[in-house]
A and B are shown apart, each in its own frame.
Chain A
């Protein structure tokens, strides 16, 4: 069975400080993992994805995530937050074996607030 847990529903940081959004997953297969960002009144935009290549994945807007199999984690980080990073972030796990696309699992989301 697969699952994804975003450990924080809300994270608040000051502009210029590091961002850490936590995601743990459970998968019977070697998964693909994605992070999406949703700005207010917008659709979901892909930030980055891991598909069994390098474990440290760099995405857009300075975000990166590290796949740690031993910890079953895929945390999203950014060295310095910007006001424009305020949004909701979704961690997504895929079984990576094809099959039903209904097996794509979305986390509940983490809302990131950035204070000036």
Chain B
């Protein structure tokens, strides 16, 4: 299996620009997660989907962030407009069955390293 695939791996953008991060989960997984990792706050759950439906977006920082999952094999996280404080590593992850809170493993992609200058 190819694992969770994220793109781009690295992005440097100017403040105010739109950023789109992409994710392909592991085939057959029903859950998809977007996490953000920073030195100050560690790993934070931004949003997760179950069967392509957003279930909990309470971790999304503000209206500048949006996430979609148009089908079972693709999701995007968009930041518009971007700000320097959005600089972080954004991880996509997926899980099967009842999800990680029932003991199923969550599999992470290699992350998208975002720098907003």
Contacts and interface: CB of A to CB of B under 8 A. Distances in A.
Interface in B60-117: 91, 93, 95, 98-103, 105-111, 113
A109 B101 contact: no
Contact of A98 (B59, B102, B108, B109): B102
Nearest to B49: A101
Nearest to A46: B105
B14 interface: no
Given A43-B108, A44-B108, A101 B101 contact: yes
B56 interface: yes
A98 B99 contact: yes
Contacts, number: 75
A102 interface: yes
Contacts of B93: 44
Contact of A45 (B55, B56, B108): B108
A90 B43 contact: yes
A94 B103 CA distance: 7
B24 to A, nearest CB: 14
Given A43-B108, A43-B110, A102 B59 contact: yes
A102 B45 contact: yes
Contacts of B42: 106, 108-109
Given A101-B33, A101-B101, A104-B101, 6 more contacts: A49-B103, A49-B105, A51-B103, A94-B103, A101-B56, A101-B99
